[in-house]
A and B are shown apart, each in its own frame.
Chain A
Amino acid sequence: MSKTTDLTRKEESLPERSREIAAVAPLVDIYENDDEILLHVDMPGVDKKDIAVNIDNGQLVLGGLRKVETTGAAQWEEFGDVEFQRTFSVPQTIDIEKVGAELKDGVLRLHLPKSEAARPRQIEIKAA
Chain B
Amino acid sequence: MWTRLSDLDRMIHAMDLFQNRMNRLHPEYARLRAVPAWDIAQGGPKTNLCDAGDHLEMRVEVPGVAKDDLSVKVQGNYLEISGSRKSDAPEGYTAHRVERAVKTFTRSFTLPADVDTGKVEAQMANGLLTLTLPKLEAAKPKQITIS
A contact set with B: CB distance below 8 Å: 1-3, 25, 27-33, 37-38, 40, 42-48, 68-80, 86-91, 93, 103, 105-107, 114, 118, 120
**Known contacts A75-B50, A76-B49, A91-B3: does B94 contact A32 (CB below 8 Å)?**
yes
Number of A-B contacts (CB under 8 A): 157
B97 touches A28 (CB 8 A): yes
Residue from the list A37, A74, A77, A87 in contact with B18, Cβ < 8 A: A87
10 A-B pairs within 8 Å (CB atoms) are namely A2-B22, A25-B19, A27-B99, A32-B93, A75-B56, A76-B48, A79-B46, A79-B61, A118-B4, A120-B1
**How near does chain A come to B133, taking the closest CB pair, in angstroms?**
12
A120 vs B5: C-alpha distance in the bound complex, in angstroms?
12
B10 surroundings in chain A (CB, below 8 A): 89
A77 surroundings in chain B (CB, below 8 A): 48
**Known contacts A27-B100, A47-B126, A118-B4: does B47 contact A105 (CB below 8 Å)?**
no
Mask: chain B, 81-94; 1 = CB below 8 Å from A; 0 = not? 00000001110111
State whether the Cβ of B8 lies closer than 8 Å to any Cβ in chain A: yes
Beyond A43-B127, A90-B11, list 7 extra A-B contacts (CB 8 Å): A25-B22, A33-B93, A37-B8, A44-B61, A72-B53, A73-B50, A91-B4
A88 vs B101: C-alpha distance in the bound complex, in angstroms?
21
A46 surroundings in chain B (CB, below 8 A): 126
Which residues of B (70-106) have their CB < 8 Å from a CB of A? Answer: 88-90, 92-100
B64 touches A42 (CB 8 A): yes
A71 vs B50: C-alpha distance in the bound complex, in angstroms?
6
Residue from the list B8, B15, B95 in contact with A29, Cβ < 8 A: B95
B98 touches A29 (CB 8 A): yes
Mask: chain B, 43-55; 1 = CB below 8 Å from A; 0 = not? 0001111111100
A69 vs B58: C-alpha distance in the bound complex, in angstroms?
11
A42 vs B12: C-alpha distance in the bound complex, in angstroms?
17
Scoring B22, B25, B48, B88 by chain A CB atoms within 10 A of each residue's CB, the highest score goes to B48
